[in-house]
Amino acid sequence: MKRLKILVISDSHGQNHLLRRAIGQEAPIDILVHAGDVEGSLRQELGENTEYKVYAVCGNMDWRDEYPDSLCFEAGGKRFYVVHGHHHGVHTTRERVRAAARDRGAQIAVYGHTHMPLLLEEDGITLLNPGSIAKPRQAGWKKTYAVIEIPLDDSGAAAGEPVIELRSLKGKGLLG
């Protein structure tokens, strides 16, 4: 069975070698989602013609007009809402991100900013924070990201529910 594979990253903070390592570790991917604090240009780093779609939002450390503050997209029969989270108070509550996702008809809300991975469902909305691949803050200091895999039938339509996993970078010089 075919599958749609989405790599979700946040808070890379200009550490492009770690961004490339995550992409290489999970390749091939169909979609790359970056939830902000790129601190640079993904277009410049990855090129214009990647083999996968790229969706990225602006974080509090991004100074370019390259990224929107938030975005929605559809993939694998699900609607995604992506935001960095610094305007939503994510250090103290998830309610504003969840409400914004609900208002936009999204089933999956992706955000960053806290540098701490989180995956849970609240009120029918899956909340996903992939953590940080550059500057983790959770116990164990693992450089984390998330992978979403959605099974597809032969026509390319969703054939099951998404499987979402939090994963960590592997390799020399990394904790964890």
Q: What is the pLDDT of residues 58-107, one digit of tens each?
A: 999 998 678 999 999 999 999 999 999 998 888 888 999 999 999 999 99
- Return the structure tokens found at 55: 């969706």
Query: Residue 35 falls within a domain, yes or no?
Result: yes
| Closest alpha carbon to 159 in 170, 168, 150, 146 | 150
Query: Residue 25 falls within a domain, yes or no?
Result: yes
Within its chain, how far is the Cα of 52 from the centroid?
A: 14
Query: Residue 176 falls within a domain, yes or no?
Result: no
- Return the structure tokens found at 33: 């989602």
What pLDDT is stored for residue 54 in this prediction? 96
Query: Residue 98 falls within a domain, yes or no?
Result: yes
What pLDDT is stored for residue 171 in this prediction? 64
| Closest alpha carbon to 35 in 18, 19, 58 | 58
Instruction: Check which CATH number belongs to the domain holding 95 and give it.
Output: 3.60.21.10
Is 0.85 surpassed by the pTM of this model? Answer: yes
Query: Residue 175 falls within a domain, yes or no?
Result: no
Query: Residue 46 falls within a domain, yes or no?
Result: yes
Residues of the domain holding 85? 2-168
Query: Residue 174 falls within a domain, yes or no?
Result: no
Residues of the chain below pLDDT 70: 64, 171-176
Query: Residue 154 falls within a domain, yes or no?
Result: yes
Distance between CA atoms of residues 62 and 37, nearest Å:
5
Residues sharing a CB contact under 8 Å with residue 106, sequence separation 6 or more, in sequence order: 72, 78, 79, 80, 81, 125
> Cis bond leading into 136, ω under 30°?
no
Total number of domains in the chain = 1
